[in-house]
Amino acid sequence: MGEEAKAFQLKKHRFKLLTTTFYDPAGAAKHKRLVEKDKQRASQNFGSRKNSGNDSEKEGDANKEEKYYPISPEQWKEAVLNLRNYNVIKFHRVLQSVCYLLGYSREEICDRETNKLSFKKVREIIGDETFYQKMAEFKFAGPKTTEFRDYEKMAFLKKNLDLGEEDLEAYSQTMFKLWQWAQMAIELRCEDVVSRRDNIEELKNARETAIN
């Protein structure tokens, strides 16, 4: 496997992991059981040592029992659901682009006959389990069987997501994670298009060589 292929596979893996932080019911249930089991074990261990050692040792033991989980399934889902509590939201183009990638139409997410996001409509969408299921089922590979609407084209989406990354991250980690997801989805789709185009060209050249 060449370096480009390896990089592509790594990006696919990272995208899959990022997606599970928004939707992964089975993984979330398994993680919850693991956390509860670890807490129970920590409580039992601490209880067996509470009458031994000095205070500093006890504090050290307690700190050791606090396990850190760097990535947990659906850790950003609740945060996205909490966006519904906002009255006004900045960087609305992030939510707009994610919705377009997931197949929502302009009429479903924007004010009538405009391209201006209707947060009232999107508030309902992100409160529905279907939104997160669509993220998990998103397919970047393979040709699209239906015609792209203008706002679904990669050029439009790239421009729509051309935002101040640092300002976005400072404003909301949740919006930043959604932006990262959309960026990776677009990158993977574009790379898949290039890969399929190159494969077609190689097959064409191979046929011409065989004929000659």
Of 186 and 199, more confident: 186
Of 204 and 58, more confident: 204
Query: Average pLDDT for residues 82-104, to the nearest whole number?
Result: 95
- The 3-state DSSP class for residue 131 equals helix
pTM for the model stands at 0.81
190 and 143: one domain? Answer: yes
118 and 20: one domain? Answer: yes
pLDDT tens sequence across 53-79: 555 544 444 444 456 566 789 999 999
49 and 151: one domain? Answer: no
142 and 156: one domain? Answer: yes
163 and 176: one domain? Answer: yes
Question: Among 122-126, 151-155, 208-212, where is mean pLDDT lowest?
Answer: 208-212
112 and 35: one domain? Answer: no
Residue range(s) defining the domain that contains residue 60: 25-72
> Taking the CA atoms of the chain, what radius of gyration do you get in angstroms?
23
> Which residues is 110 bridged to in the sheet?
117
Considering the chain, what percentage of its residues have pLDDT values greater than 70? Answer: 87
Query: Average pLDDT for residues 105-115, to the nearest whole number?
Result: 95
Residue 198 has pLDDT above 90, yes or no: no
Of 173 and 43, more confident: 173
User: Of 52, 72, 92, at which residue does a domain stop?
Assistant: 72
pLDDT tens sequence across 132-172: 999 999 999 888 778 889 999 999 999 999 999 999 999 99
Host H or E run for residue 41: helix 25-49
38 and 140: one domain? Answer: no
11 and 65: one domain? Answer: no
User: Of 37, 72, 107, at which residue does a domain stop?
Assistant: 72
Considering the chain, what percentage of its residues have pLDDT values greater than 90? Answer: 60
pLDDT on residue 118: 96
107 and 168: one domain? Answer: yes
186 and 102: one domain? Answer: yes
Residue 212 has pLDDT above 70, yes or no: no
User: How many angstroms separate the Cα of 36 from the Cα of each of 21, 50, 155, 208?
Assistant: 19, 21, 46, 63
Query: Average pLDDT for residues 171-181, to the nearest whole number?
Result: 97
155 and 94: one domain? Answer: yes
Burial state string for 129-164 with b = 16 or more CB within 10 A and e = fewer than 16: eebbebbeebebeeeeeeeeeebbeeebbeebbebe
Number of domains in the chain: 2
43 and 113: one domain? Answer: no
